Structure 1
Amino acid sequence: MEVLKKGTKGYFVEKLQEFLKLVGFPTQVVNGDYDDATLANVLAYQKQKALAADGIVGAQTMLALVKQIKGIKEEDFVRVATDMKVEVPAIKSVHMVEAGGFGFNVDGRPKILFEGHKFWAALVKKGIDPAPLAAKNPDIIYPKWTKEFYSKDNFEEWKRMERAMAIDKDAAMLSASYGSFQIMGFNYASCGYKTVQEFVDSQSKNEGNHLADFAKFVANNGMLKALQEKDWATFAKKYNGPAYAENKYDIKLRDAYIKNGGKA
């Protein structure tokens, strides 16, 4: 994201103002204009959070705001882990590996990964021939998995998603993974939702929802025992797919488990 300061206008300023309004600055006007009133609130927030109080808003300040609004709480981990009969570090390991320990971007949208081969399949299932569409959109519609078109910047990943949604919204939503645990949209039913839209709406709200959906997804897809026993290879195969060993997914989970306080 661009660095925001007095005089900046646009989308990220509007998001900044929305966040400030939610964290204790109720008089903040949301108009997309970084004005004097916005500056005063930013300075107050930065001082409150022991950030560099210079009125300049980069990723650090925006993430602090988003985490305060949408972040998961330790008691949430403890409650869900108790219900699942799973160690807290075991859940945190998946949280860390899948989304780097936080499931949202600085603008408050969930982290996603759009899978063009799943979009191809979803279009076919709806009776839409993907081939002519793929000719014009080769980076979002293709028949076989490839990581060639993944974006390092999640905002660019969202642009891919938005282009796919313009072609077919439901098929696009089915074809991306979301949030802290990167659950694919086509798994909406096993997370307890009637439609993929309901699932995406849930994933867009907060990490508490991400955690609740993860618990249902794991329980409903035969993964719970492996997570309880910290059988990383079995869990990785079921959660990440049969090619999990290629990127050492099971090793990453084990290492993240230890890093989060689990016993080696």
Structure 2
Amino acid sequence: MNRIVSPQAWKDLAGTLDVDEACLRAVAEVESSGGGFMRPPSQLPKVLFEGHVFHRQTQGRFDASHPELSYPHWDRTKYSGSVAGEWRRLDAACALDRAAALESASWGAFQIMGFNFEICGFEDIEAFVAAHKQSADAQLAAFSSFIRRPGLIDALRSRDWKGFAAAYNGVGFAKNSYDSKLATAYLRFGGRSP
């Protein structure tokens, strides 16, 4: 299992997508600090469990019994503060509804939400999760499929960081300065100034 995307894999994907390699690396850097796995000895991918998505995926049926896992609106205070803690939250949600829980987490180096498994080319959520556990290359392949949607790839090609941020992370992207972080990371990876 490779835990880090190789320089050649970055170059190949950039060529395939006709996008600046620094753009691709910037997304991984901002989403996961550039790595898709927990620190060794763990072999698990990075995850972030989103309780408001779990609420939506389960129609709120666990809101009363498990308010730390299921709630109607995004709430930063519900995060555990560590990847290991997010795995504990995900495992607890899986005990309630496995498929909904897996679909309610963002995965790997690119933090793609599990409910996007079909867009990423997978038949079901279990295959998506297995790929994210497999290797950095498998995470990159999922991202390659996910990013091809017109709103994403076009914004990335033109380095429209606000447009990309809105399409990738939703309208609340500005709360986390997502677009500014992408622009900064892009320059750090050798991207050209506008």
TM-score normalized with structure 1 length: 0.70
User: What is the CA–CA distance in structure 2 between the aligned matches of 1:167 and 1:192, rounded to whole Å?
Assistant: 26
* Structure-to-structure mapping, 1:1-264, within 5 angstroms: 69-106=2-39, 107-124=42-59, 130=61, 133-220=62-149, 222-264=151-193
Unaligned 5+ runs, structure 2: none
User: What is the CA–CA distance in structure 1 between the aligned matches of 2:55 and 2:176, rounded to whole Å?
Assistant: 24
User: What is the CA–CA distance in structure 2 between the aligned matches of 1:145 and 1:198, rounded to whole Å?
Assistant: 27
The question of whether the paired residues in 2 share the 8 Å contact of 1:232 and 1:253 is answered with yes
User: What is the CA–CA distance in structure 2 between the aligned matches of 1:243 and 1:159, rounded to whole Å?
Assistant: 26
Which amino acid counterpart does residue 263 of structure 1 have in structure 2?
R
User: What is the CA–CA distance in structure 2 between the aligned matches of 1:233 and 1:222, rounded to whole Å?
Assistant: 11
- C-alpha spacing 1:143/1:182, structure 2 compared with 1 (3 Å): same
Q: Aligned to 2:58, what secondary structure does the other structure show? A: helix
Unaligned 5+ runs, structure 1: 1-67
Q: What's the CA shift for 1:146?
A: 0.9
Q: Aligned to 1:69, what secondary structure does the other structure show? A: coil
Identity of aligned residues (%): 37
Q: What's the CA shift for 1:135?
A: 2.7
Which amino acid counterpart does residue 101 of structure 1 have in structure 2?
G
User: What is the CA–CA distance in structure 2 between the aligned matches of 1:220 and 1:172, rounded to whole Å?
Assistant: 25
- Counting matched residue pairs gives 191
* Higher RCO (Cα < 8 Å, 6 or more apart): 2
Question: What's the C-alpha RMSD, in Å, of the aligned pairs?
Answer: 1.2
- Please say which structure displays the higher CA radius of gyration: 1
The question of whether the paired residues in 1 share the 8 Å contact of 2:151 and 2:164 is answered with no
User: What is the CA–CA distance in structure 2 between the aligned matches of 1:120 and 1:243, rounded to whole Å?
Assistant: 18
User: What is the CA–CA distance in structure 2 between the aligned matches of 1:101 and 1:177, rounded to whole Å?
Assistant: 15
User: What is the CA–CA distance in structure 2 between the aligned matches of 1:86 and 1:230, rounded to whole Å?
Assistant: 9
TM-score normalized with structure 2 length: 0.95
User: What is the CA–CA distance in structure 2 between the aligned matches of 1:174 and 1:258, rounded to whole Å?
Assistant: 33
